[in-house]
C-alpha cells in the first residue's frame, strides 16, 4: 500500500474562475494520487519519479466559486489524508467569493471581498514537538497554524507568501547532522551541510512534517521563492565568490541538487495549470520512467546561465497582483556588468507590472527558453501591486550606503588595493542586496515610478521582503527623483518566521537607521566616489525583532497591515500571536 511521505500542500487556487486548484504530494512509491472533495470536485495524477522519490501535483477541477470544501487525499484508492486520529480540522479548499473577472463589483480585492496575504521569510526547522524549550523562540508559522486550528472562525490568509530560506542547507539541525554522519564522512566537504538531493529531501521533511505547519500548508495556498540559505549563505554574491565555489569538488552537486529540489518542492506549485501545461520540463519529467536526468540537466544549465530559465512568476488575486522576483538565480555577476536581474528578467517584470495599466507597454522580449509561457493573469486593471523580493529594496541607510560604496570600490574606482579589500568585505559582510547593484536599484525604482505614475495607477505598491532578520516599514521620498508615482509606495520587510539574531547585529541594524548611521554612511559614499542618491526614504515603522509575520489586507483602494509576533504562552501554555502594529493607507 502506498503511503504519504509529505504533504499535501494546497499550492494554488485559481482566482480567475474559482473552479480549480493544485495539490502537491510526495508518496513513498509509484501510485495514482487523488484529491477527493466533499462537494464532488476532485482530480487525479500519476506520480513521477526523481532520485528515488515519487511526487504528484494533482489538478483539482469542478470547484464552485465562493465555496469552501473539505478534501481527502487517496493513493491507489486508499485514504492517506487526513491522518488517522488527527486533532486538526479538515483540510479545505476555499475559492474566491466571486471570480467573474476584474470588472465585477464583487471581485476579490474590491470593497466587498478583501484579499489577505500573510508573508515572511527565514524559517529554520522547528524544534521537536516534545522539546520543553525552543532555543530561538516560538515559530510564527506554527503559532499561526495553531491559532487557526483552534479558532475556526478566525480570519484566514488567502495565501501565504514565503520569501526565502524555507530550508537551511548550510545550517543543519542536530538530527540532520546525525543522519549525515551515518551516511558519509562529515569531516570531508561540505561537512555537516547538505551534499546532494537526498539530503535536501531531509530538510523539507524536517520543516514540513511539523504537524501544525503540515496542516497549515494543506489548507492555505502558498507562493514561494528561494533565498540564499535554500542553497548556501551569500549565494551568488559576486563573480569572485562564484569562481571560488566552482573550484571546490562539492559545489556542483550542491547547486544542482539545490535547484532540482527547489523545482520539485517549491517552484512547481507556484505555477498555474496553464503554465504547467506549457512547461516542457514538467512534461518530460512526467512522461519519463525516471525524470532525474532530465531535471539534473535542466538544473545544471540553469546554474550556468541565469537567462536559461525564469524562476520569477506572477499571480493575480482578483484586483491584487503579485510579482515574485528571483533575486538570486537571475543575477549577472561580471564585475563591470553586475545586475540583480538580467535584461530579459527585468523586461519580463516590467511587462507584467505594466499589463493592465494605461502606460505604454514595452515590446514583448524574448523570454527565457525554459520558462513557462502561458499567461498568469487576465491583464485587467488592478488596485494593488505587490513585488515579492526576498531582499529588501530599501535598507537601513547606513547599510545601503556601505553597499553602494562597496559596489564602487570593487570596480576599481579607488584602485586595485581597495578593490581587493572591497571584495573581501563584500563576502564577509553579506553586501549583496539591491543597493549592491546600483543600476538595478535604479531600474526597480524607475519601474515603481512608471507603474505608479499612470492615470490607472494602482492605489498601492508594496515591496515585500525578508532576509535581514528584523521587520520594518520604509516609505520613499520622491522629491529628488525624476517623476513621482501617484500610488502609495512602501517597503514592507518581515523576517524571521523562526530564527534568531545576535545582539550585536540587532544593535547594528538600529544604528543603521539612526542619524549617526546615515552620517557615517555618507562618508563611505564620498570615499567611494558614489554620486548622491536621487532617492531618499524614511523608516515609518520598526525595527521589530522576533519571530513574526506580516499580513496585508487589501480591500478597494486601501491596504491594512498587521504585524504579529509569536510569544511564549504564560505558565507553559501554547504560544500566541501578539499584534505589534496595525496601520493602513489608502491610494488615489
What are 164's three cell numbers?
526565502
Q: Which residue has 489577505 as its cell numbers?
A: 116
What contacts 158, CB < 8 A, 6 or more positions away? 94, 96, 108, 115, 116, 117, 220, 221, 317
pLDDT of residue 446: 97
116 shares its domain with 24: no
Terminal Cα-to-Cα distance of the chain (whole angstroms): 58
Strand ranges across the sheet with 471-477: 313-317, 320-325, 384-389, 460-465, 488-493, 471-477, 536-544
Task: Say if residue 74 is in the same domain as residue 136.
Answer: no
Query: What pLDDT does 129 receive?
Result: 46
How are strands ordered across the β-sheet holding 159-162? 222-224, 159-162, 115-120, 548-555, 558-567, 576-586
Do 77 and 130 have their domain in common? no
Do residues 116 and 157 make contact, with C-beta atoms less than 8 angstroms apart?
Answer: yes
Task: Please list, in sequence order, all residues whose beta carbon lies within 8 angstroms of the beta carbon of residue 80, skipping any fewer than 6 positions away.
Answer: 2, 3, 4, 73, 74
Cross-strand partners of 42: 36, 61
For residue 364, the model assigns a pLDDT of: 56
Question: Given this model, what pLDDT does residue 569 score?
Answer: 84
d(CA 362, CA 1): 54
Residue 4 belongs to a domain with what CATH number?
2.60.40.380
Check residue 105 and give its pLDDT.
45
Residue 339 shares a structural domain with residue 364: yes
Q: And the C-alpha cell for 247? A: 573550484
C-alpha cell at 193: 551541510
* Same domain flag for 193 and 150: yes
Q: Report strand pairing: 313-317 vs 222-224.
A: unpaired
Q: How many domains does the chain have?
A: 2
pLDDT for 376: 55
> Do 413 and 549 reside in the same domain of the chain?
yes
Q: What is the CA radius of gyration of the chain?
A: 23
- Give every CB contact of residue 401 below 8 A, 6+ residues apart in sequence: 435, 518, 521, 522, 524, 525, 530
Asked if omega into 82 is within 30° of 0 (cis), the reply is: yes
> Cα 115 to the chain's mean position, in Å?
18
65 and 195: one domain?
Answer: no
Q: What is the pLDDT of residue 373?
A: 55
Burial of 576 (0-12, 13-18, 19+ CB in 10 A): middle
CATH code: domain of residue 147? 3.60.21.70
Rounded CA gap, 217 and 267, in Å?
A: 15
Q: Are residues 87 and 100 in the same domain?
A: no
Q: What is the DSSP letter of 581?
A: E
Q: Are 547 and 527 in contact (CB under 8 A)?
A: no
Give the number of other Cβ atoms within 10 Å of residue 209's Cβ.
14
383 and 532 belong to one structural domain: yes
* Spatial separation of the C-alpha atoms in residues 232 and 246, rounded to whole Å: 13
End residue of a domain, out of 77, 95, 113: 95
Three cell numbers written together for 87 = 486533532
Last residue in a domain, options 56, 80, 95:
95
Q: Are residues 53 and 109 both part of a single domain?
A: no
23 and 132 assigned to the same domain: no
Peptide bond preceding 489 in cis form (omega within 30 of 0): no
Same structural domain, 533 and 417: yes
> Which residues in the chain land under pLDDT 70?
98-111, 126-133, 361-379
Calculate ∠ Cα 579-584-588, nearest 5°. 165
Task: Confirm whether pTM is higher than 0.75.
Answer: yes
Please give the residue range of the domain that contains residue 136.
96-586
Last residue of a domain, one of 95, 110, 129: 95
Amino acid at each position: 500500500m502506498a503511503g504519504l511521505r509529505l504533504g499535501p500542500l494546497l499550492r494554488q487556487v485559481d482566482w480567475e474562475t474559482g473552479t480549480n486548484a493544485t495539490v502537491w504530494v510526495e508518496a513513498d512509491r509509484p501510485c495514482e494520487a487523488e484529491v477527493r472533495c466533499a462537494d464532488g470536485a476532485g482530480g487525479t495524477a500519476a506520480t513521477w519519479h526523481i532520485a528515488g522519490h515519487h511526487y504528484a501535483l494533482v489538478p483539482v477541477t469542478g470547484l464552485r466559486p465562493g465555496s469552501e470544501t473539505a478534501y481527502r487525499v487517496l493513493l491507489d484508492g486508499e485514504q492517506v489524508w487526513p491522518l488517522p486520529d488527527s486533532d486538526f480540522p479538515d483540510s479545505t479548499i476555499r475559492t474566491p467569493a466571486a471570480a467573474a473577472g476584474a470588472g465585477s463589483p464583487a471581485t476579490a480585492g474590491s470593497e466587498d471581498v478583501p484579499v489577505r496575504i500573510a508573508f515572511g521569510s527565514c524559517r529554520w526547522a522547528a524544534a521537536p514537538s516534545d522539546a520543553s524549550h525552543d532555543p530561538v523562540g516560538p515559530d510564527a508559522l506554527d503559532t499561526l497554524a495553531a491559532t487557526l486550528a483552534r479558532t475556526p472562525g478566525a480570519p484566514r490568509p488567502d495565501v501565504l507568501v514565503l520569501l526565502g530560506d524555507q530550508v537551511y542547507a548550510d545550517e543543519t539541525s542536530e538530527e540532520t547532522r546525525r543522519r549525515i554522519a551515518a551516511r558519509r564522512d562529515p569531516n570531508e566537504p561540505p561537512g555537516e551541510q547538505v551534499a546532494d538531493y537526498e539530503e535536501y529531501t531531509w530538510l523539507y521533511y524536517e520543516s514540513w512534517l511539523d504537524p501544525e505547519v503540515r496542516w497549515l500548508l494543506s489548507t492555505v495556498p502558498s507562493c514561494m521563492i528561494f533565498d540564499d540559505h535554500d542553497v548556501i549563505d551569500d549565494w551568488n554574491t559576486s563573480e569572485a565568490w562564484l569562481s571560488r565555489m566552482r573550484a571546490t569538488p562539492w559545489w556542483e552537486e550542491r547547486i544542482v541538487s539545490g535547484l532540482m529540489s527547489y523545482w520539485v518542492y517549491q517552484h512547481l506549485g507556484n505555477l498555474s495549470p496553464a503554465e504547467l501545461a506549457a512547461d516542457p520540463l514538467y512534461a518530460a519529467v512526467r512522461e519519463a520512467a525516471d525524470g532525474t536526468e532530465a531535471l539534473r540537466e535542466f538544473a545544471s544549465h540553469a546554474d550556468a546561465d541565469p537567462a536559461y530559465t525564469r524562476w520569477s512568476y506572477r499571480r493575480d488575486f482578483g484586483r491584487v497582483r503579485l510579482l515574485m522576483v528571483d533575486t538570486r538565480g537571475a543575477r549577472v555577476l561580471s564585475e563591470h556588468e553586475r545586475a540583480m536581474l538580467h535584461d530579459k528578467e527585468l523586461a519580463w517584470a516590467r511587462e507584467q507590472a505594466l499589463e493592465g495599466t494605461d502606460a505604454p507597454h514595452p515590446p514583448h522580449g524574448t523570454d527565457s527558453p525554459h520558462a513557462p509561457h502561458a499567461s498568469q493573469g487576465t491583464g485587467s486593471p488592478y488596485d494593488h501591486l505587490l513585488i515579492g523580493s526576498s531582499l529588501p529594496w530599501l535598507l537601513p541607510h547606513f547599510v545601503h550606503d556601505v553597499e553602494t560604496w562597496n559596489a564602487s570600490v570593487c570596480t576599481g574606482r579607488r584602485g586595485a588595493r581597495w578593490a581587493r579589500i572591497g571584495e573581501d568585505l563584500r563576502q564577509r559582510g553579506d553586501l549583496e542586496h539591491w543597493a549592491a547593484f546600483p543600476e538595478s536599484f535604479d531600474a526597480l525604482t524607475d519601474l515603481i515610478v512608471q507603474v505608479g505614475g499612470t492615470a490607472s495607477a494602482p492605489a498601492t505598491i508594496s515591496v515585500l521582503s525578508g532576509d535581514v532578520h528584523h521587520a520594518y516599514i520604509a516609505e520613499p521620498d520622491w522629491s529628488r527623483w525624476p517623476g513621482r508615482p501617484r500610488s502609495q509606495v512602501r517597503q514592507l520587510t518581515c523576517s524571521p518566521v523562526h530564527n534568531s539574531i545576535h545582539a550585536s547585529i540587532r544593535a547594528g541594524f538600529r544604528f543603521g537607521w539612526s542619524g549617526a548611521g546615515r552620517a557615517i554612511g555618507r562618508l563611505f559614499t564620498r570615499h567611494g566616489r558614489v554620486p548622491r542618491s536621487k532617492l531618499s526614504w524614511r523608516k515609518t515603522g520598526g525595527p521589530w525583532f522576533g519571530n513574526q509575520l506580516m499580513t496585508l489586507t487589501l480591500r478597494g483602494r486601501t491596504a491594512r497591515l498587521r504585524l504579529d509576533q509569536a510569544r511564549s504562552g504564560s505558565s507553559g501554555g501554547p504560544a500566541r500571536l501578539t499584534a505589534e502594529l496595525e496601520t493602513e493607507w489608502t491610494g488615489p
